[in-house]
Each structure stands twice: as C-alpha cells, then as structure tokens.
Amino acid sequence: MVRGVGQHSLTPKQEELKTRPRQGQSSGTEDKHKQPQVAESSQSDVYIKVEKSETSITYGRPQGTDAKAIQQLKDDSEQAFQQLKEIVRQLLERQGLRFLDILGTEDTDPVEVEVDELAMQEAQALIDEGGPWSPEAVSDRIVEMAIAFAGEDGSRMGLMRSAIASGFKAAEGLFGGQLPDISYTTYALIEE
C-alpha cells in the first residue's frame, strides 16, 4: 500500500514488524526460534532479514542411530546363526547327507533326517540360559537393535515396538498360527 511519496507513515504490517524485537534485543520471553531482523530506512520501507533454515527436505539417517552397535549386533546374530548351521551340518554328515541333499526336494519325495541325541544336546545348549538362542539373549539383541535404530529419537521407539510385534505376528503365520513356547517367552522379555 503506497501512501504517497515522501510520507513516512507505515502500513499496519510494517508497524507490527517495527515493534518486534530486533537482533540483540530481548522481548522478555525468549523464543527458541530466531525472530526476523527488522531494519528501517529513513523512508517507510522495511527490510526483513530471514535466517536460512538448514532443514533437510529428504530423509536421511535418523539422528543418533548407532551404526557401530547395529553392526556388532548383526555380527553377533550371524555368529549365533553359524553355530546353529554347524550343528545341522554335522547332524547331516553323521547320516551321510549334505545340505544340498535336503534342499529343493519335492514334498512327495522328502529326505528323512533323524535328529540324534548329540544334535539335540547341542541345540538344547544353544537355547538354554546363557546360550546364544536363549530367550534372554535373543530378547536382548532385539531390544538393543531397536534402541540402536531409534537412536536419540525417543518417538521412534513406538515404531520399533510396532515392527517387533508385526514380526512376531508374521512368524506365527509361517508356523500355522502358533509359535513354540520359547518364542512367547522371548516376546514377553522384549516387552519387559
């Protein structure tokens, strides 16, 4: 709105901007966001300096995600999985079989594999207290992974809980609607 050449009256918006605290001045209540700087010329023009925002418009790695902890947890899980695979490999060898012998077979022509006493004892040791597949160890790994992925963003923990619950529901579906009791023990420990 132009009031005329040489007049020094301000528009209502200019008056509002003029009364805002300037950089270096306190308004009495500190706001965590910077107020725009207002500088006046001798005329009625008003210059507003706006601070450039560094907010990204793309998704990046969540702040605080602990990549080192995530890698360590992945390595620990891989090591535990390799132990389990080794038990199965040795079990098959004791029966004169290999992994390839039992993979890709037709349901009409299944390969019979007998679980012997040694394999049962080794597998039991893996799931007993202190073993890498015990409910305590597995629940600890899952919780630590969720914490590492959530990082410093506490609001992401709800997303992590939801993902864990979805994972257990999906596993139930794969097992015909009911998981072994050890799985429910593990889930209860995760919820704790």
Tell me how far apart the alpha carbons of residues 27 and 48 are, in angstroms, rounded to a whole number. 18
Compute how many other C-beta atoms are within 10 angstroms of the C-beta atom of residue 61: 8
Q: For residues 167 and 180, what is the distance between their CA atoms, to the nearest angstrom?
A: 15
Asked whether the predicted pLDDT for residue 182 surpasses 70, the reply is yes
* Bigger pLDDT: 58 vs 171: 171
Q: Are 115 and 97 in contact (CB under 8 A)?
A: no
3 falls in which pLDDT band (50, 70, 90)?
A: very low
Lowest mean pLDDT: which of 14-23, 97-106, 145-154?
Answer: 14-23
User: Which residue spans within the chain are E strands per DSSP?
Assistant: 37-40, 46-49
18 or 168, higher pLDDT: 168
Q: What is the largest CA-CA distance in the chain?
A: 103
| pLDDT attached to residue 2 | 46
The predicted model scores a pTM of 0.54
- In the prediction, which pLDDT does 167 show? 92
**Which residues neighbour 185 within 8 Å (Cβ) at sequence distance 6 or greater?**
135
Phi/psi region, residue 100 (left: phi>0; alpha: psi -120 to 50; beta: rest), is alpha
Of 150, 76, 88, residue with least CA distance to 123: 88
- How would residue 21 be classed by pLDDT, with cut points 50, 70 and 90? low
Q: Residue 4 above 50 pLDDT?
A: no
Mean pLDDT within 161-172: 92
SS3 104: coil
Position 44 pLDDT exceeds 60: yes
pLDDT value of position 64: 58
Q: 88-137: per-residue pLDDT in tens?
A: 888 888 888 777 666 655 655 667 788 889 989 998 999 999 998 899 99
Is it the case that residue 51 has pLDDT exceeding 50?
Answer: yes
Contact between 168 and 179 under an 8 Å Cβ cutoff? The reply is yes
- Whole-angstrom distance, CA of residue 10 vs CA of residue 46: 9
Comparing 46 with 187, the larger pLDDT belongs to: 187
| Cβ pair 113, 97 in contact under 8 A | yes
